[in-house]
């Protein structure tokens, strides 16, 4: 910056003061632009979530931890150009489903860890699931994009949580459907969570 000052002073001391003033302005603009560009190139630091969003995430963890999701789902093959004439237009039956949750906690960014027991059809399996939770305003949406679930398959889904209800869509390869149900919590669980105010997560290793 000392060099800039010397250049500006020398210009102003020249005989043509009008041209000197114009040149001085252009020099100042150039160096300001270079300073802004240098600041833009600096690595940005991750910003913590705003207080309102942090409160929403705590409420979501409290709601889902130790809860049971009980509902129904549909499953039907996806139509293709070849199958449009062969798949009859019938009402798709609903099947029962059940998700028993342990601790649900955020582990970084949009990623949450769900300690889950999944029961539907002939399946009954318990495992920790790292899943993304995105937000539509103040509404959490559990999001799967070709996510591998050990022992069950690869799924894509969007499941919206609102109050004590859930609903959404799911797909797995050439079939998929809808799902919906209620979120149940026992009074004992609520009392325990309120007493501790923070659910303590189990020690779970993800390879």
Give the model confidence (pLDDT) of 82-113 as tens digits: 655 555 555 678 999 999 999 999 999 999 99
In a shared domain, residues 29 and 63: no
Distance of CA 17 to the CA centre of its chain: 60
Q: How many residues does the chain have?
A: 207
Geometric angle at alpha carbon 116, from 150 and 156, rounded to 5°: 55
pTM (whole model) above 0.75: no
CB 170 within 8 A of CB 160: no
The boundaries of the domain holding residue 173 are: 51-78+91-196
> 147 lies in a domain?
yes
In a shared domain, residues 27 and 124: no
How many domains are contained in the chain? 2
More confident residue, 113 or 45: 113
**56 to 49, 51, 106, 134, 157: CA distances (angstroms):** 10, 9, 12, 12, 22
> 64 lies in a domain?
yes
- CA pair distance 123, 119, nearest whole angstrom: 6
In a shared domain, residues 97 and 190: yes
Please tell me the predicted confidence (pLDDT) of residue 92.
77
């Amino acid at each position: 910056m000392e060099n800039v000052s010397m250049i500006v002073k020398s210009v102003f001391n020249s005989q043509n003061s009008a041209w000197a003033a114009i040149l001085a302005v252009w020099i100042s603009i150039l160096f300001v632009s270079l300073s802004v560009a240098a600041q833009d190139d600096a690595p940005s630091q991750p910003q913590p979530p705003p207080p309102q969003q942090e409160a929403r995430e705590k409420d979501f963890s409290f709601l889902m931890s130790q809860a049971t999701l009980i509902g129904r789902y549909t499953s039907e093959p996806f139509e293709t150009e070849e199958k449009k004439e062969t798949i009859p237009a019938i009402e798709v039956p609903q099947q029962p489903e059940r998700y028993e949750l342990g601790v649900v906690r955020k582990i970084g960014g949009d990623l949450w860890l769900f300690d889950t027991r999944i029961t539907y059809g002939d399946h009954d399996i318990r495992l920790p699931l790292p899943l993304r939770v995105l937000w539509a305003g103040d509404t959490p949406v559990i999001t799967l994009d070709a996510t591998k679930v050990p022992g069950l398959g690869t799924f894509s889904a969007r499941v919206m949580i609102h109050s004590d209800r859930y609903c959404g869509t799911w797909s797995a390869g050439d079939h998929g459907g809808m799902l919906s149900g209620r979120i149940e919590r026992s009074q004992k669980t609520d009392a325990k969570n309120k007493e501790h105010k923070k659910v303590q997560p189990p020690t779970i290793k993800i390879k």
